[in-house]
Chain A
Amino acid sequence: MSTARTTLRLGAGAGFAGDRIDPAQDLAEHGKLNYLIFECLGERTVATGHARRLLDSTAGYDPLLEKRMRAVFPHTTASGTTVVTNAGGANPLAAAELVARIAAEVSIGSARVAAVTGDDVLEQVLRHDPVVWETGRPLSEHSEELVSANAYIGAEAVIPALDLGANVVITGRLADPSLYLAPLAFEFGWQPTDYATLGAGTAVGHLLECAGQLTGGYYADPVTKPVSNLAFLGFPFADVQADGSAVFGKLDGSGGTLTTRTCAEQLLYEVGDPAAYLTPDVAADFTGVSFTQVGLNRVAVDGATGGIRPDELKVTLGFRGGWLGEGQISYAGPRALQRAELAGEIVSVRLREVHGLDAENIFVEFIGAGAAFRGLDFRSDPHEVRLRVTAQTRSFEAADAVGWEVESLYTNGPAAGGGARRSVTEVLSIRSCLIPRHLVTTNVHLLEGRS
């Protein structure tokens, strides 16, 4: 532990890989933060990072990492704020080298940048051959090329980096709440078996990990839940006590709102079983959580606890899944849906009979007629509808035929189709499995930024 602090302030700098940068810059400059956390890694993000790394050994981390660090570094250096992020993605070491270079350019004092590795468990899963959840079959029975396997590692992996005095800690597949739990456990001396406080800290991390979702962003509805100044939504911070209780806030003057209702929505987000929210650190129990409004845009949380952590770690597997071809075109006015349906049928027939695609791989949606609700609440007379045809294929050429056939509706009909767009993307199929915790060993690599 560095110093005996009674309250720690953790700020949320990003809630996903593509998140905005200016709210993080504001927090870094004005938030008086002890730690600034960037959550930048989804299941798909880590697999696409590996695919990029296979093409370029220096790539594989968050493409926005440089912009994020350049925006906050002058402020975090001045205020002594430590940055923790999983933006290392598929290549934490290369990310740390980049950040060390930036530190040397822009920072005032010395920067110690640490990379945490060991979440890459490709070799371990190939040896251990776990059952894949989605298929129920052992990994070895899958014919697709396995591109990546990343274990969700926990707060314990980060603590040695903080102990070495790192100003910036960059990880790969660190679990989202663990990004926040790590500094709390380090500063307050929480042990791996302190399940109640680890559960409380995990609740804090879970509430902060999606950044603007807590401050009224994803919560907002212009009629039932109006929120002001969403264009300049402020990101949240938490003042956390040694017992894991916390008060959430956001910068005065920033957009958004922070209330017991925004907090309650975020607490339940992506939580299937509130009694056992499993992370690498703890089985967190949110069933006793309560929120209290303690001021304008200030909410206190209490009551989270936890139980013994899982023996196995979840692993995200990325398989090459061929190509996804897509085409879209709009129809409007009288008989918009009927014309779109006719167009969809024409494209499907031609993809099967001219291009040899399998019918089961072709998928047709009518955007504007209820596609989002997957046919549950279909509208038969929309004023405007957009046909979307997709197909997953083995070859690029077959995938490209999808958009081509949609585009060729321009002259070949039906009437008045407009605004055609087409794309082809490489597919990485994401699946999951478990591996025993003892097969995963993490390491810390410390780089000194010259300045």
Chain B
Amino acid sequence: MTVVVSLDLLADVRTGDKGDTLILAVLPRDDAAYRHLLFRLTPAVVSSHFGRLVIGDVRRTVMPQLPGFVFELPGVLGGGVTGSPSLDGHGKTLSYHLLSLKI
């Protein structure tokens, strides 16, 4: 059976910045959510959700003992914190964009 739910029900998120790259941490709320996301929350799915902002390949690191995932999304912060004119140059608010993902 395939159940599609919003990521908001399965995980917590936090972003950080390194230059142009958005670093996105995803913390599943329990082991079932972790196993679900391990197969479903692929780099391609995350890349697609951030669409045209992503320039290059998204990399995923799995941390099974936390459990958690780290995604690196190159290009999202075009210009970085001091080079981008965006109000939230760090992209701190962007973590919650992932929570709208249906998965």
Chain A interface residues (CB < 8 Å from chain B): 43-44, 133-134, 218-219, 221, 224-225, 261, 264-265, 267-275, 286-291, 303, 321, 324, 363, 365, 367, 371-374, 376-377, 388, 390, 392, 427-430, 432
For the complex with contacts A225-B12, A264-B68, A390-B85, 19 further pairs of A-B residues with Cβ separation under 8 Å are: A44-B81, A134-B19, A261-B27, A264-B27, A265-B12, A268-B14, A268-B27, A268-B63, A269-B25, A270-B17, A271-B16, A271-B25, A272-B23, A289-B63, A290-B66, A371-B86, A374-B86, A377-B100, A430-B82
Docked CA distance A269–B21 (Å): 13
Return the CB mask of B10-24 against A: 1 if under 8 Å, else 0.
Answer: 001010111101010
Most A CB within 10 A of own CB, among B27, B50, B51: B27
In the complex, which residues 25-84 of chain B have their Cβ closer than 8 Å to any Cβ of chain A? 25, 27, 49-51, 53, 61, 63, 65-66, 68, 70, 72, 76, 80-83
Write the residues of chain B forming the contact surface with A, with a CB cutoff of 8 angstroms. 8, 12, 14, 16-19, 21, 23, 25, 27, 49-51, 53, 61, 63, 65-66, 68, 70, 72, 76, 80-83, 85-88, 93-94, 97, 100
Contact of B68 with A272 in the complex, beta carbons under 8 Å = no
Closest to B74 in A: A272
**When the two chains form their complex, are residues B93 and A133 in contact, meaning their CB atoms are under 8 A apart?**
no
CB pair A290–B65 under 8 Å, yes or no, is yes
* 29 A–B contacts from the bound complex (CB under 8 Å): A133-B19, A134-B83, A218-B14, A221-B12, A224-B8, A224-B12, A261-B27, A264-B66, A265-B12, A267-B66, A268-B25, A269-B23, A270-B16, A271-B23, A272-B18, A273-B61, A274-B61, A287-B61, A288-B65, A289-B63, A290-B66, A324-B85, A374-B94, A376-B53, A376-B97, A388-B87, A390-B85, A430-B83, A432-B19
A303 to B94, CA, bound (A): 30
The 8 closest A-B pairs by CB, nearest first: A270-B16, A268-B25, A363-B85, A372-B93, A430-B82, A264-B66, A290-B65, A373-B97
Measured between alpha carbons, how far is A428 from B76 in the docked complex, in Å?
21
A134 touches B61 (CB 8 A): no
- With a cutoff of 8 Å between Cβ atoms, the chain B residues found around residue A218 in the complex are 14
Across the interface, which residues of A come within 8 angstroms of B61, CB to CB? 273-275, 287
A373 B87 Cβ-Cβ under 8 A: no
A42 to nearest B CB, angstroms? 9
**Number of A-B pairs, beta carbon distance below 8 Å:** 107
Instruction: Give chain A nearest CB distance to B38 CB in angstroms.
Output: 16
Q: Given A274-B63, A291-B66, does the pair A365, B97 have CB atoms closer than 8 Å? A: no
Determine the distance from Cα of A225 to Cα of B25 in the docked complex, in whole angstroms. Answer: 16
- Cβ contacts under 8 Å, A367 to chain B: 87
Q: In angstroms, how far is the closest chain A Cβ from the Cβ of B64?
A: 9
Give the secondary structure class of B's interface.
mixed
Find out whether the CB atom of B17 lies under 8 angstroms from the CB atom of A372: no
**In the complex, chain B residues whose CB is within 8 Å of the CB of A43:** 81-82
B81 with A430: CB separation less than 8 A: yes
User: How far, in angstroms, from A188 to B17 measured CA to CA in the complex?
Assistant: 33
**From residue A385, how far is it (CB to closest CB) to chain B in Å?**
13
Cross-chain contact of B12 among A261, A274, A363, A432 (Cβ < 8 A): A261
- How many Å lie between the Cα of A402 and that of B16 in the bound state? 30
Q: Give Cα distance in the complex from A371 to B88, angstroms.
A: 9
C-alpha spacing A289/B66, complex, angstroms: 8
Minimum Cβ distance to chain A for residue B87 (Å): 6
The complex places the Cα of A287 from the Cα of B62 at a distance, in Å, of 9
Q: Which residue of B lies closest to A270 (CB)?
A: B16
Nearest-Cβ distance from residue A421 to partner chain B, whole angstroms = 13
Also in contact, A287 and B63, with CB within 8 A (given A224-B12, A272-B23, A376-B97): yes
Q: Which of the listed residues A271, A390, A430 has the most CB atoms from chain B within 10 Å of its own CB?
A: A271
User: Complex formed: what's the CA distance from A67 to B88 in Å?
Assistant: 28
In the assembled complex, how far is the CB of residue B95 from the closest CB belonging to chain A, in whole angstroms? 10
Inter-chain contacts of A225 with B (CB < 8 A): 12
Smallest beta-carbon distance B48→chain A, Å? 11
